[in-house]
Amino acid sequence: MENKNVYFEVRTKLTMTNQKQIRVIELGEVSPVRSQTCYHAVGHTFGPDTPDTVILVSPNSPYVCVGFHQETGREVDLDFCCQAGLPVYRREVGGGAVYLDRDQLFVQWIFHPEHFPAGLEDKFRFYVEPMVRTYHRLGIPAEYRPVNDIQVAGKKICGTGAARINQAEVIVGSFMFDFDKKMMAKVLKIPSEKMRDKIFQSLEQYMTTIKELLPEVLAREKIIEIYLEELARLTEAELVGGKMTEAELAEAERLDRLFESKDWIFHKGPLHSPAIKIHEDVHLKEIDYKAPGGLIRLTARIKAGRLDAVWISGDFTAFPKEGIAELEKALAGVSLDEKSLQEAISKFMAQTGLSCPGVELEDWLSAFRQL
């Protein structure tokens, strides 16, 4: 298997600091919103005595989930979702809008930060390794593809996302038993049907599933068994079956209500901010820039050559997730000349440790140049 030295170093570092136990919570099938709020709840209630936790769960019906930094109304065809009876939720993890159903088995890690490698790419690499090993045992030649994908012969079979929730490091992904690519193309907000057809064709060309790759799919319980064997082997930890605590369940119920509220679903985006006032000497401009790590969308209010305010969204991943909102604040008042922007962004990244896989300083500068 590739990168053996990296995995050995990661494993050694983990076992030096690990509490030697990982709580495994198998929730089976739950409501769509709970399939998201369960891991958020563990993260929000996480404390020094909380065990490293892995949740295995699937939704019992389909839904659409948008990334933390996305603007729901821009990314999702809400009229179609309403007609199709598809609820839409926002997660606290980055990435893009995605259609989800019971054909995916979510694998959600909620760990102590010191039990993960320091680098974001190394975190993803470590997280996907037991999944990659599981796929290999199924006869699927999967491999890790930086920054945060698992691929088979150039086709994506798993994407992952990361966030810092309270005191916990969170990484999520899924085993892809099957995937409704037509529905995925339908739920996205697309300017034309021709473009929608192109999206479906691209999904057909660049995504794959267990069902497509194997003549017969093992029972889900057997795949979970293999995965847990590989997880235990990699971490050298004792896997202990467990349940969510009363505090975690109470938090999940609170988050269920929050995630279903319009304020949360639509909270991102300048057009929802009551503070915006456009005058004759103020220009509001929006640009899209495609970085290797995802789309960056900048909406800026420009006054006298300065960023009076800027709103940043897109399908990239940011770590910590709150860093983008803080970057927006840090750039308010900064001159739009490249030197000032470079100094401000570089200083912010150095002070906060903001990391966006596949989005480097030059990508941020290239995006702002378009303003």
Cα 26 from Cα 224, distance rounded (Å): 9
Give the pLDDT confidence of 135-184 residue by residue, as tens digits: 999 999 999 998 889 999 989 999 899 999 999 999 999 999 999 999 99
Three-state SS for the chain is CCCHHHHHHHHHHHHHHCCCEEEEEEEEEECHHHHHHHHHHHHHCCCCCCCEEEEEEEECCCEEEECCCCCHHHHECHHHHHHHCCCEEECCCCCCCEEECCCEEEEEEEECHHHCCCCHHHHHHHHHHHHHHHHHHCCCCCEEECCCEEEECCEEEEECEEEEECCEEEEEEEEECCCCHHHHHHHECCCCHHHHHHHHHHHHHHECCHHHHCCCCCCHHHHHHHHHHHHHHHHCCEEEECCCCHHHHHHHHHHHHHHCCHHHHCCCCHHHCCCCCCCCCEEEEEEEEEECCEEEEEEEEEECCEEEEEEEEECCCCECCCHHHHHHHHHCCCECCHHHHHHHHHHHHHHHCCECCCCCHHHHHHHHHCC
Confidence of residue 2 (pLDDT cuts 50, 70, 90): very low
0.75 exceeded by the pTM? yes
Question: What's the mean pLDDT in 232-257?
Answer: 96
The predicted pLDDT at position 13 comes to 42
* Bigger pLDDT: 196 vs 245: 245
The predicted pLDDT at position 282 comes to 60
Going along the chain from its start, the domains and CATH numbers come out as: 4-265 (3.30.930.10), 270-369 (3.30.390.50)
280: pLDDT strictly greater than 80: no
